[in-house]
Amino acid sequence: MTKIILTNKETGLNPTGEELARVILARMGLEPRKTGSTENMHKVFLELYERMKMSNREKKPESSVMTVEEMGVFAGITRQTMYDYLKRWLALNVIVKTSYIKDSKVIIGYKLNGATVETAFEKAVLNIQNHLEITKKYVQELQRVLKNEKISQKQRENAVSGEFGEQNMIND
Whole-angstrom distance between the N-terminal and C-terminal Cα of the chain? Answer: 63
What lies within 8 Å, CB to CB, of 23 at 6+ separation is: 9, 10, 11, 15
Is residue 75 within 8 A of residue 41, CB to CB? The reply is yes
- Report d(CA 33, CA 10) in Å as an integer: 17
Is residue 26 within 8 A of residue 9, CB to CB? The reply is yes
CATH number at residue 99: 1.10.10.10
pLDDT on residue 46: 93
144 belongs to a structural domain: no
CB burial of residue 52 (10 Å; 0-12, 13-18, 19+): buried
132 belongs to a structural domain: no
Total of domains in the chain: 1
131 belongs to a structural domain: no
63 belongs to a structural domain: yes
Q: Rounded to whole angstroms, what are the CA distances from 111 to 30, 31, 46, 108, 120?
A: 15, 17, 11, 10, 10
Helix residue ranges per DSSP H, the chain: 17-27, 41-58, 68-75, 79-91, 117-171
User: What is the span of the domain harbouring residue 36?
Assistant: 17-117
- Report d(CA 45, CA 21) in Å as an integer: 7
> What amino acid occupies position 110?
Y
Longest CA–CA span in the chain (Å) reads 99
pLDDT per residue, tens digit, the chain (172 aa), is 677 788 888 888 888 888 998 889 888 888 776 655 667 889 999 999 999 999 999 999 889 999 999 999 998 888 888 988 898 899 889 999 999 888 888 889 999 999 999 999 999 999 889 989 999 999 999 999 999 999 999 998 888 877 665 555 555 5
54 belongs to a structural domain: yes
Could you give the angle at which helices 17-27 and 41-58 cross, rounded to 10 degrees?
Answer: 110
